[in-house]
């Protein structure tokens, strides 16, 4: 029903080349996968286990590539290592004026205190599944929350819909991803009466400008 405009995926992974997604990696080893994309970020997730290549991350940032996804994930061990890497990556994002794309799984408290302390200029908390209070604090710190279909299973979902947010699939770019994004934006537009796809694209184009 006319919610087809504004198709921009605020968080996806490298698949088919497109300008309609902000594409991130989970490891600095995947840098070559980013070359066909216009909106891109190089990152490292705790699941990658090995150490990120910080020199490469910094070099990429100098060349205009954003930083992400990076973050904290309770499903994987070594909290101190995770935190050290998260802080270093955030400092690169700040030093090079790049967006930080943040991944948080069951570590909202710790991640928020680091964000509060390090104050990244521009950041997105992707795949947000936290509380209303956490969402409000992220927004007050200048961050953007991005919702994937998983958000619908959280207890704060109805309240989150009243806040500004971007929308994402967290899938590899391609036809299936675009179908999923269209369905998700359509669902949210029905629930809110707002053209969520168009609003999300506006929010993302603003931060990516
Ligand atoms: Zn992702």
Burial of 80 (0-12, 13-18, 19+ CB in 10 A): exposed
The Cα 110–Cα 22 span in angstroms is 25
The Cα 183–Cα 109 span in angstroms is 31
Whether omega for the bond prior to residue 69 falls within 30 degrees of 0, making it cis, is: yes
d(CA 9, ligand 1 centre) in Å:
11
d(CA 15, ligand 1 centre) in Å:
12
d(CA 48, ligand 1 centre) in Å:
13
- Which regions of the chain are under pLDDT 50? 1-4
List the structure tokens of 174: 């391609």
Spell 94-105 as b/e; 16+ CB within 10 A means b.
bebebbbbbbbb
Q: pLDDT value at position 77? A: 87
d(CA 189, ligand 1 centre) in Å:
23
d(CA 5, ligand 1 centre) in Å:
23
Q: What is the DSSP letter of 19?
A: S
The Cα 195–Cα 170 span in angstroms is 21
d(CA 99, ligand 1 centre) in Å:
15
Q: pLDDT value at position 1? A: 36
The Cα 139–Cα 151 span in angstroms is 17
Q: How many CB atoms lie within 10 A of CB 186?
A: 16
d(CA 13, ligand 1 centre) in Å:
6
d(CA 40, ligand 1 centre) in Å:
12
61: nearest Cα among 35, 96, 34 = 96
d(CA 50, ligand 1 centre) in Å:
18
User: Helix crossing, 108-118 with 132-140: angle to 10°?
Assistant: 10
**Residue in the structure block whose two tokens are 């080893």:** 29
The Cα 97–Cα 6 span in angstroms is 26
CATH fold, domain 9-208, is: TIM Barrel (3.20.20)
Distances in Å between the Cα of 149 and the Cα atoms of 54, 56, 118, 186 are: 32, 33, 29, 11
d(CA 190, ligand 1 centre) in Å:
25
H-type alpha helices, 18-78: 54-62
């Amino acid at each position: 029903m006319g919610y087809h405009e504004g198709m921009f995926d605020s968080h996806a992974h490298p698949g088919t080349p497109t300008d309609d997604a902000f594409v991130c990696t989970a490891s600095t080893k995947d840098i070559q996968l980013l070359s066909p994309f216009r909106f891109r970020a190089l990152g490292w997730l705790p699941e990658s286990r090995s150490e990120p290549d910080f020199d490469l991350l910094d070099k990429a940032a100098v060349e205009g590539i954003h930083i992400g996804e990076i973050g904290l994930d309770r499903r994987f061990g070594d909290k101190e290592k995770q935190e050290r890497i998260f802080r270093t990556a955030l400092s690169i994002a700040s030093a090079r004026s790049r967006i930080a794309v943040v991944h948080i799984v069951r570590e909202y408290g710790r991640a928020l205190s680091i964000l509060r302390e390090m104050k990244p200029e521009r950041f997105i908390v992707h795949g947000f599944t936290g509380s209303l209070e956490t969402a409000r604090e992220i927004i007050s710190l200048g961050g953007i929350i991005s919702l994937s279909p998983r958000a619908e299973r959280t207890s704060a979902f109805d309240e989150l819909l009243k806040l500004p947010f971007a929308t994402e699939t967290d899938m590899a770019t391609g036809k299936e991803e675009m179908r999923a994004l269209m369905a998700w934006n359509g669902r949210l537009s029905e629930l809110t009466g707002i053209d969520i796809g168009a609003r999300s694209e506006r929010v993302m184009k603003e931060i990516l400008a």
